[in-house]
Structure 1
Amino acid sequence: MLHDAPLPPWPGRSREEIASHLDAECEWLITNGVLPTDLVTRNREIAEAALWPWTPVFAHGDLQITHVFVAGDKITGVIDRSEASQGDAMFDLASLTLGHEERLGDLVAGYGAADVDLEVIRAWWSLRSLGAARWLVEHGFDPDSPGCEFDVLRAAM
């Protein structure tokens, strides 16, 4: 239902902005020796699929399990829409399952298999992980902790 809500009047980031940010982050990861070049290059290639011509929906922008309230098998609320904008529904689904590929089948079943593109979700996993690594490193977080961004990138190989 979230993605069926009326579009907010403000646009999200354009594909060009996303691609430019991705290029800069990949260059930083390689130049600073944070990750092996082949790992970054392969995930950059996978991330290309996220730059597909999606139809904009109301996108949460930071959809994660802690932002979703559930009672039984019903979603009763979604909070923290501070990053909401027009965007790709697959980005939200990727954010919700990042680091938890084993839950992807459950998500697809609940969302509706016909509306889900698994290749694009995996592309967003790579894109989001590549794009977040520098910020995490610079702010004292460890993207190499089990289940975190670097594990997501290695799993894509």
Structure 2
Amino acid sequence: MKGLKKQRRVQIIVLALVALTVSTGLIGYALQDGINFFRSPTQVVEDPPRVGEVFRIGGLVEEGSIKRGQSETVSFRVTDTNQTIPVRYTGILPDLFSEGQGMVGTGSMEDGTFIATEILAKHDETYMPAEVIDALKEQGVYQDANTDS
């Protein structure tokens, strides 16, 4: 009788571990399309993404680079002051999107141009996305607006 209870307990534990492993694997597989890594323009140039890989790119919108195209298509360049990547976006840009300001875009590379599916811009005159600040600090060009020179 004791041996049968022990055997049943071991079977339940093994079954629970198998179910946990399978569910963890399925969750990881389902989430892999939703994970978008952030890259600066320098990182994109130094280590080009895989074809069709969706990622986020951020930096400053280069001065004089915004060009309006057919309908809602806009082309511009994003820079981290070290490297520059051309960006094309079809859609309505955020109201606060402008040259010289921080932005983050989600999309993929196609023939050397970042094709954005989403563009995010700063939300007030002092805000810049954390990823953009980190990339600019890495290049040694970020100056905190709150510090006195």
TM-score, structure 2 normalization: 0.24
Q: Greater helix percent: which structure?
A: 1
TM-score, structure 1 normalization: 0.23
RCO higher in structure (CA 8 A, sep ≥6) = 1
